[in-house]
Amino acid sequence: MTHQFDVIIVGAGGAGLRAAVEIGGQYSCAVLTKVHPLRSHTGAAQGGVCAALGNLEEDNPEWHAFDTIKGSDYLGDQDAIEVMCNDAPRAVIELEHMGMPFSRTAEGKIAQRQFGGHTRPLDRDDPDSKRVAVQRACYSADRTGQAMLNTLYENSLKNNVRFFSEFFVTELLYADGVASGVVAIEILTGEIHVFHAKAVMFATGGDGRIWRITSNAHVGTGDGFMLAYNAGLPLEDMEFMQFHPTGLWKLGILVSEAARGEGGILRNKDGERFMERYAPTVKDLAPRDMVSRAIIQEIREGRGIKGSDGTEYVLLDLTHLDIKIITEKIPEIVGFARTYLGVEPTKEGVPVQPTAHYVMGGIPTDVDGRVRLDHKDGIVKGFYAAGECACVSVHGANRLGTNSLLDLIVFGRRGGKAIVEFLKSGAEFAPLPPNAGEATKSKTVEIKSRTSGNKPAPLRTEMQQLMMDDCGIFRDAKGLQSALDRIGELREKYKTVVIDDKGNQFNTDLLEAIELGNLLDTAQLVVTCALNRTETRGGHAREDFPDRDDHNWLKHTFASKNGDGNPRLEYRPVAITKYQPKKRVY
């Protein structure tokens, strides 16, 4: 079956929906999503969306930009960061006008709270002066992402956006620098659909399911990355994965930074507030990469707490917080602790450990969401990306908390506006490839017809564990090379992947098998880029190269598909406007 729309958006999280709101009502727009839009992973974002509104204390976008640049370990493109931070107040107020139910101050303004890495200088005229935490995160209790998702979905419906829920996209239709649509499997029926469009936007989220302990939803399998990569387009900075410091022990379920923003304290087995040693000024509100490494360091040095399964954790102490703060500002966080671990946060510490959370790299774009053709300045005609699957790059080597939701609404909107301008310029439907959908059909038939081979689950489990062991918070050449070799073996085994369900309706066996292929290919790319970058920067910590190396590595990695199955690596310089790289201290 073939469908035709002016615009196809793949992914119904915050970025995809914000673009859809911009496009709908003017042009025909369809959104394809593996799940129902309100189940998109944006709904898991808890703590807030940052903007220098200054509702509770003085703030300005320049300070926000400085924090983002410093937080990125100076790998973020400063021109793009300035665009995001300057646009943040407007973007948040616009959401408010759409109906997003923000928490409020006593005066009725949007409430704001502290978040890791967000600061203001004590001397307002000197950004290098001592800095203290600032209340910059706008929030809706600890359900900010879900409130944003609901608001944007309702506005998309109002703007006549068409939704194709539970459609799994398997091909990007792209040739000669032009995107013409996508191919998708309708999960309900197993039918293959071709979507023909003048413009395509990817807002497909991240790849956290490569790791065993992750905060990511089960849909976070790196599909968008591999669809672009396999079409011949590059991916940028895939070595940089952020581990959020506070995932629930064993499970990885996110315990938002909002808990520390409201006064929560990390403690080791001795009850010590250990972050005072690692970040004496901002303590528990240091950037995520630093807090995650500090937790692992505490465990390595014998100050972790051993759990029943032999793994170790530290405690997030909320017992000193006022009950009103707990019930009104972080109810979901304490609810998770009670439900999943049987812990009462008002009386005892919550066991936490770092969890794979957010990929800073992705499909390279400019500030208007237009996908880059290469590591230079080429642009793909009719192809856009936004959100976690895209790399603008505003997060560099380490994303600050609450900058993810901001990224969605700023660059989702800008991408949507750029698509509208592209359509207004007279864009037409590029011809579909004559064999559109045949590759998907062949793959599904091959997997379902196979009667012997390797089951997906054991391959996936092995991949996730080796990524935790050898490509986690700390890395070195020996472990990365071992991981790369083992992933190669798993990719070979995947060639004979076999499933039990041979049917068409809701064949989740088939979907998980296809997703596993995307995960394995993405894992190979992540490890290759990590092995190649011989320095420590942000979320990429090489124990055999413990220092940041600005002389050799102040540049973005661009990985493209090679004929031999290994990525071809090229580089693009970091855009620096105002702030020269300095040592990160907090």
Instruction: Tell me if 192 sits within 8 A of 510, measured CB to CB.
Output: no
User: What is the number of alpha carbons within 13 Å of residue 235 lying toward its C-beta?
Assistant: 33
Which residue of the set 131, 136, 260, 288 is catalytic? 288
Distance CA 107, CA 170 (A): 50
Instruction: Tell me if 41 sits within 8 A of 224, measured CB to CB.
Output: no
Handedness of CA 309, 310, 311, 314 (dihedral sign): positive
Distance CA 114, CA 349 (A): 21
The first and second tokens of residue 102, run together, are 């923000």
Instruction: Tell me if 46 sits within 8 A of 258, measured CB to CB.
Output: yes
Which residues make Cβ contacts (< 8 Å) with residue 377, sequence separation at least 6?
none
Cα angle value 62/394/257 (rounded, 5°): 80
Distance CA 97, CA 410 (A): 15
The first and second tokens of residue 347, run together, are 């009386």
The first and second tokens of residue 58, run together, are 């003085």
Which residues make Cβ contacts (< 8 Å) with residue 457, sequence separation at least 6?
none
Check if 143 is active-site.
Answer: no
3-state secondary structure 12-45: CCHHHHHHHHHHCCCCCEEEEECCCHHHCHHHHC
CA distances for 488 relative to 211, 340, 452, 459, 485, angstroms? 16, 35, 20, 12, 5
Residue ranges with strand state E in 249-369: 265-267, 305-306, 312-317, 350-359, 363-364
Antiparallel, parallel or unpaired: β 265-267 and 112-121: unpaired
Active site residues: 288
